[in-house]
């Protein structure tokens, strides 16, 4: 069966009045603020909110500690990297100095051999 459509002004006005009455009755039937049930619900909500805030504070504290730990680890890693790089640079400089000394020693030895050959040639004359 089809539902009859009430389109007359008085019908719509009557429907609106009935809806307002139902809403008013619903509001009157709702528990009051001083009702023990409402007080218990408010207390429960407050406890849940407090627990939520505590969890958020704990998460924030853990996050801060993790950031502190990570910062300390990064600083230690940076210091270790700097020390390794510094030691490598010192070793490289020492090797370059040793290579330069060997080159000077080789040149001196070559000069000494050349001087000996020259002296031997002069002695033969």
101: tokens are 């000394």
pLDDT at res. 32: 78
Query: What percent of the chain has pLDDT above 90?
Result: 75
Domain locations along the chain:
9-124
pTM: 0.47
pLDDT at res. 46: 97
- Which pLDDT tens digit goes with each residue over 80-117? 999 999 999 999 999 999 999 999 999 999 999 999 99
DSSP string, 45-89: HHHHHHHHHHHHHHHHHHHHHHHHHHHHHHHHHHHHHHHHHHHHH
46, 40 Cβ separation under 8 angstroms: no
pLDDT at 2 over 60: no
Mean pLDDT of the chain: 91
- Which pLDDT tens digit goes with each residue over 36-55? 888 999 999 999 999 999 99
């Amino acid at each position: 069966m089809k539902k009859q459509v009430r389109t007359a002004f008085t019908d719509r006005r009557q429907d609106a009045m009935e809806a307002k009455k139902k809403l008013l009755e619903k509001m009157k039937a709702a528990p009051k603020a001083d009702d023990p049930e409402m007080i218990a619900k408010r207390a429960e909500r407050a406890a849940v909110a407090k627990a939520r805030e505590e969890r958020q504070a704990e998460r924030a504290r853990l996050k801060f500690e993790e950031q502190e730990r990570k910062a300390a680890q990064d600083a230690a890693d940076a210091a270790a990297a700097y020390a390794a790089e510094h030691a490598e640079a010192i070793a490289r400089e020492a090797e370059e100095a040793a290579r330069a000394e060997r080159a000077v020693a080789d040149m001196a030895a070559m000069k000494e051999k050349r001087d000996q050959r020259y002296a031997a040639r002069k002695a033969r004359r």
